[in-house]
Amino acid sequence: MRVREILSTVEQQVQDRLTRKIPVDHFVLLDWLSHEINAISGMGEFDFLLRRLDPMILTSLGQREYALPEDFPENFARGGDDIDSDFMCRLNTGSAESFLTYKEPAQFFSRTIEDEASGKPADYTILTRDDGARILYLGPPPDSNSDANYTINGLYQPTSWTLNDEDQVPPIPGNAAILRYALLRRIEPHNGMWAQEYERQRGALLLRAARSRISQMVPHLGRARDDHELMSE
């Protein structure tokens, strides 16, 4: 369902039957819709909100620092719910791909950075500058890869969403009912039905996200079980 359709449905539900007037300006609703998507994003990490680095980072010989997008959060998304699961930050050599290991800034910079020889990057950290920009640091600094320049790719959940085009499709799965009810409860805060429906849709959304995470973890759990059985034989 496109933004235009969501707003039209909401406006039809709240307009005065006699005057046909709508209690909230159309562009205010559009702004509220962006806020509601950001509120959903704040509930947790959702697969449907993940975005790929675009463009990918192309490394340069000896260069350690690379700017990340303006909407980049504190780190890349994790590959699973487990706190030990890899962050979705990958290094591509042109012939193979591997995860980069995240290190806390204090650990990353505890080595002698100035004397570190260049090589194939194995780990990274992220710092935030005074102006709010997030910077990716690679260790060791990239060498001259024989296949091609290294590229860094990954998935992250943007810190903010802004809807400027009413032909956009909001990044919410299904028919975006949760967004409709979110707007309706804003317009008519004393109508308990809107709040009740919003909470019902919110619960369904969180359940769907949890099931998606579990389905992704099943192959890993299966491999772990097989390894355990082999060790016990």
Instruction: Note the pLDDT tens digit of each residue in 14-59.
Output: 998 888 899 999 999 999 999 999 999 888 888 888 999 988 999 9
One domain, residues 131 and 182? no
Which of 77-81, 99-103, 144-148, 154-158 has the least mean pLDDT? Answer: 144-148
- Domain shared by 101 and 42, yes or no: no
Percent of the chain with pLDDT over 90: 61
pLDDT at 121 over 90: yes
Give the CA distances from residue 112 to residues 50, 108, 115, 119, in Å, rounded to whole numbers and listed in that order.
35, 10, 6, 15
Same domain, 12 and 39: yes
Under 8 Å between Cβ of 150 and 120: yes
CB 21 within 8 A of CB 11: no
**Count of domains for the chain:** 2
Mean pLDDT, residues 157-176:
86
**Domain hosting residue 101, numbered range:** 51-156
Domain boundary at 129, 156, 183, which?
156
Helix (H, G, I), strand (E, B) or coil at 21: coil
- Let me know whether 71 and 16 are in one domain: no
Reported pTM: 0.78
Boundary (domain end) residue, out of 138, 156, 174: 156
**Same domain flag for 90 and 110:** yes
Are 105 and 133 members of one domain?
Answer: yes
Same-domain status, 42 and 56: no
Residues contacting residue 215 through CB under 8 Å, at least 6 positions apart: none
Domain boundary (104, 136, 156) is at 156
- Mode of pairing for the β-strands spanning 151-156 and 65-67: unpaired
Sign for the CA dihedral angle at 45, 51, 56, 57 comes to: negative
